[in-house]
């Protein structure tokens, strides 16, 4: 892997932090097997390098959103089980079987279509049954006897080899359920329904219900395996869970100054002339915009760090650039490094804080980083690789 990249904008990913987070989470859940969720390019961190780090850290499974993401892992040479959490067209049954991929089955219509396609292709597809305990997304409704009968029927379809069962909790992070009573009820519902399926003769090799939030807040519900997603990347699922496990943020986002100029009273800044200066200001243009994944919603309200000092955004965020007020910050010139989120000297700007300023969550900010942002991998304090998607 090349170590070359243009220092215009880049995301620095600490592989030691990823490995540390995997170990810390595994210790928290009592060394249960871990399914590493690496969908969305490993939450924007770069799936090829991060998945290799996680495999070396001893994860037992991977999980992704789609068949294309699963095939990408196989192309990288991974032989671990891979669970596809979302929809795969039933006509892809042969591809699922040939590549030893596990497909989520979540409704009678989907189970029947997938089983029929598998039979037509002369293959058997490994599956995990998904139960819906209150998310209202994919899954057989666990609070419905009729749908649980459908789930049992799906488990018995020829062409499907059901190896697992799982669910997903909507409020395990405390959002909408600060006392945890709803989640505890959903854990109980899932446990009872799985026991009923097993009593009907269904043998599940693996049962899993805990995502990052549940594995931290309800570690006792880990069952056979946990699905760790955002926490692997060092991000607490919610403020309420911050600090419960020693997580280290894996990503910092950096850019550079392209120009510094002095603007005067009466001058306006950026599109729409939303800012009119009342006095002289030193203004730095920096190489990041909404096409790189930096939200336009941060116009006039976000800030970045230069030499450990806050530099507020002036005016609207543009597609490829934005302007910072660097008045009073010494040593700012073309090429000066700017911290979009992460550490600058002794100062820290967490991605959670950036997300809060524009009314979103940290998950979104790391996931939406554009393809022209190279991921630069650091291990033991040294750059060990670069993924440059377009360079």
Where in the sequence numbering do the catalytic residues fall? 39, 271
CA distance 389 to 391: 6
Give the whole-angstrom CA distance, residue 209 versus residue 217.
Answer: 13
**Cβ(169)–Cβ(213) below 8 Å:** yes
Phi, psi of 192 (to 5 degrees): -65, -40
| Cα four-point dihedral sign 213, 215, 220, 221 | positive
- Spatial distance between the Cα atoms of 187 and 61, rounded to a whole number of angstroms: 22
| Residue 115 CB contacts under 8 Å (≥ 6 apart), including other chains | 125, 157, 158, 159, 160
Cα torsion 74, 80, 81, 84: sign: negative
Half-sphere exposure of 77 (CA within 13 A, CB side): 4
CB 208 within 8 A of CB 164: yes
Contact status, residue 248 vs residue 342, Cβ threshold 8 Å: no
DSSP secondary-structure letter at 386? E
215, 15, 73, 7: CA torsion to nearest 10:
130
d(CA 363, CA 351): 9
Q: Which two tokens stand for residue 232?
A: 């692997």
**Cβ proximity of 198 and 206 under 8 Å:** no
């Amino acid at each position: 892997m090349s170590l070359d990249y243009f220092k215009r904008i880049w995301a620095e990913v600490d592989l030691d932090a990823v490995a540390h987070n995997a170990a810390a989470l595994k210790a928290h859940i009592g060394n249960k097997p871990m399914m590493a969720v690496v969908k969305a390019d490993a939450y924007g961190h770069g799936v090829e390098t991060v998945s290799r780090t996680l495999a070396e850290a001893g994860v037992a499974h991977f999980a992704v959103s789609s068949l294309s993401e699963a095939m990408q892992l196989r192309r990288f040479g991974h032989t671990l089980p891979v669970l596809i959490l979302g929809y795969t067209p039933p006509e892809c049954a042969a591809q699922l079987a040939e590549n030893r991929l596990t497909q989520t089955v979540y409704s009678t219509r989907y189970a029947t279509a997938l089983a029929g396609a598998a039979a037509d292709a002369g293959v058997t597809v490994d599956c995990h049954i998904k139960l819906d305990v209150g998310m209202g997304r994919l899954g057989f409704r666990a609070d419905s006897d009729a749908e649980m009968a459908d789930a049992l029927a799906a488990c018995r379809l020829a062409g499907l080899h059901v190896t697992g069962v799982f669910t997903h909790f909507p409020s395990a992070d405390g959002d909408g359920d600060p006392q945890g009573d709803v989640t505890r009820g959903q854990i109980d519902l899932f446990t009872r329904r799985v026991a009923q399926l097993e009593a009907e003769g269904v043998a599940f090799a693996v049962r899993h219900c805990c995502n990052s939030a549940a594995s931290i807040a309800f570690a006792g519900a880990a069952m056979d395996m946990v699905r760790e997603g955002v926490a692997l990347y060092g991000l607490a699922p919610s403020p309420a869970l911050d600090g419960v496990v020693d997580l280290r943020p894996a990503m910092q986002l950096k850019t550079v100054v392209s120009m510094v100029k002095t603007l005067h009273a009466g001058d306006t800044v950026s599109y729409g002339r939303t800012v009119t200066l009342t006095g002289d200001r030193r203004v730095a243009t920096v190489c990041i915009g909404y096409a790189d994944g930096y939200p336009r919603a941060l116009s006039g309200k976000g800030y970045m760090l230069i030499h450990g000092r806050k530099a507020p955004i002036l005016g609207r965020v543009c597609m490829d650039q934005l302007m910072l007020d660097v008045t009073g910050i010494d040593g700012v010139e073309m090429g000066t490094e700017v911290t979009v989120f992460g550490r600058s000297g002794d100062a820290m700007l967490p991605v959670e804080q950036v997300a809060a300023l524009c009314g979103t969550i940290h998950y979104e900010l790391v996931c939406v980083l554009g393809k022209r942002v190279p991921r630069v991998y650091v291990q033991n304090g040294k750059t060990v690789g670069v993924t440059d998607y377009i360079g």
